[in-house]
């Protein structure tokens, strides 16, 4: 007996993020369909809260089960900033602004956190993933997006790693938890 193939909608306006998610999902036999749309992200104290509220808002408009992903860069020396404000901070000051804030700072520890919020038609389920690294002293690499050119993982930035990044990223770690759960639940 052949198993029915699984599919799920992913809501994002970021094509790079969609491609990364689709590639990871294929390993689990899941077909991720892209709902390319922007949505208003409420402000909140945590990524989990923002993802949950965003999914609740979208659930009023989208009739199919779907998931969204929110991620943030947390810098230890800046007390976790930009954290849940990462998207806004990136749009306003970018990587150059973060590097200016970090000029002369010795403690460069940082981590990326990704949160998946899945709406199954009734409930919202949340999955997280974290990867630790450091803030580089300069922008390096051209293969990533967002903060990738300043996030050092080992001796390379995420933007220097290309596809290698997908093997270790915060998004991958959250997606693996979600996709494993999804396959167990629906197969």
- Predicted TM-score (pTM) of this structure: 0.90
The alpha carbon of 71 is separated from its chain's Cα centroid by a whole number of angstroms, namely 4
Long-range pairs of 145-148 with CB within 8 A, sequence gap ≥ 24: 145/14, 145/16, 145/17, 146/86, 146/90, 147/73, 147/86, 147/90, 147/95, 147/98, 147/112
Place of tokens 């993933």: 129
Considering 31, 70, 148, 155, which one is annotated as catalytic?
70
| Tens digit of each residue's pLDDT (9 = 90 or more) over 6-29 | 999 999 998 888 988 998 999 999
> Is position 31 annotated as part of the catalytic site?
no
In CATH, the architecture of 6-186 is Alpha-Beta Complex (3.90)
| Sequence ranges of the domains in the chain | 6-186
pLDDT digits (tens, 9 = 90+) for 146-156: 999 999 999 99
């Amino acid at each position: 007996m052949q198993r029915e193939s699984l599919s799920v909608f992913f809501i994002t306006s970021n094509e790079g993020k969609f491609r990364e998610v689709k590639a990871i999902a294929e390993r689990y036999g899941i077909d991720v369909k892209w709902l390319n749309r922007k949505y208003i992200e409420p402000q909140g104290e945590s990524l989990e809260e923002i993802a949950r509220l965003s999914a609740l808002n979208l659930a009023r408009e989208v009739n199919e089960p779907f998931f969204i992903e929110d991620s943030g860069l947390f810098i230890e020396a800046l007390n976790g900033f930009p954290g849940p404000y990462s998207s806004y901070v990136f749009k306003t000051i970018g990587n150059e602004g973060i590097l200016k804030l970090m000029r002369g700072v010795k403690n460069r520890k940082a981590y990326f956190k990704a949160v998946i919020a899945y709406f199954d038609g009734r409930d919202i389920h949340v999955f997280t993933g974290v990867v630790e690294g450091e803030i580089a002293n300069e922008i390096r690499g051209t293969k990533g997006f967002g903060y990738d050119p300043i996030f050092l993982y080992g001796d390379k930035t995420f933007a220097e790693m290309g596809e290698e990044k997908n093997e270790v990223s915060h998004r991958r770690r959250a997606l693996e938890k979600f996709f494993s759960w999804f396959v167990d639940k629906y197969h």
